[in-house]
């Protein structure tokens, strides 16, 4: 993997005004620094990769409690 560098532009560079900070790969940074277009500020360190667990999260649906409606019929009283 190629190294990346943070560089500060000294001239208009890729549409960026002078004084901007951009990231370039090692080859481009050294090339443009030799031409005095940019100044290398620092090397960008790669971010550590996160460990991904192989277990998946449980996605089971929560159970809903059902309420039973009373279906008892009203008794009719005849007169």
Please give the chain's pLDDT, 79 residues, in tens: 688 999 999 999 889 999 999 999 999 999 999 999 999 999 988 888 887 766 666 666 676 677 766 655 555 565 5
DSSP string, 14-77: TTBPTT-EEEEEHHHHHHHHHTTSEEEEEEEPPPPPPPPPSSPPP-PPPPPPPPPPP-PPPPPP
* Count: domains in the chain: 1
- The answer to whether the pTM exceeds 0.85 is no
The verdict on residue 60 lying in a domain is: no
The verdict on residue 16 lying in a domain is: yes
The verdict on residue 25 lying in a domain is: yes
Domain that holds residue 12: 4-44
């Amino acid at each position: 993997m190629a190294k990346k560098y943070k560089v500060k532009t000294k001239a208009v560079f890729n549409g960026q005004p002078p004084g901007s900070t951009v990231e370039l790969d090692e080859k481009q940074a050294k090339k443009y620094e030799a031409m005095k277009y940019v100044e290398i500020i620092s090397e960008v360190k790669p971010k550590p990769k996160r460990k991904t667990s192989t277990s998946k999260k449980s996605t089971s649906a929560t159970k809903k409690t059902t309420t039973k409606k009373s279906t008892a019929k009203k008794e009719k009283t005849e007169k």
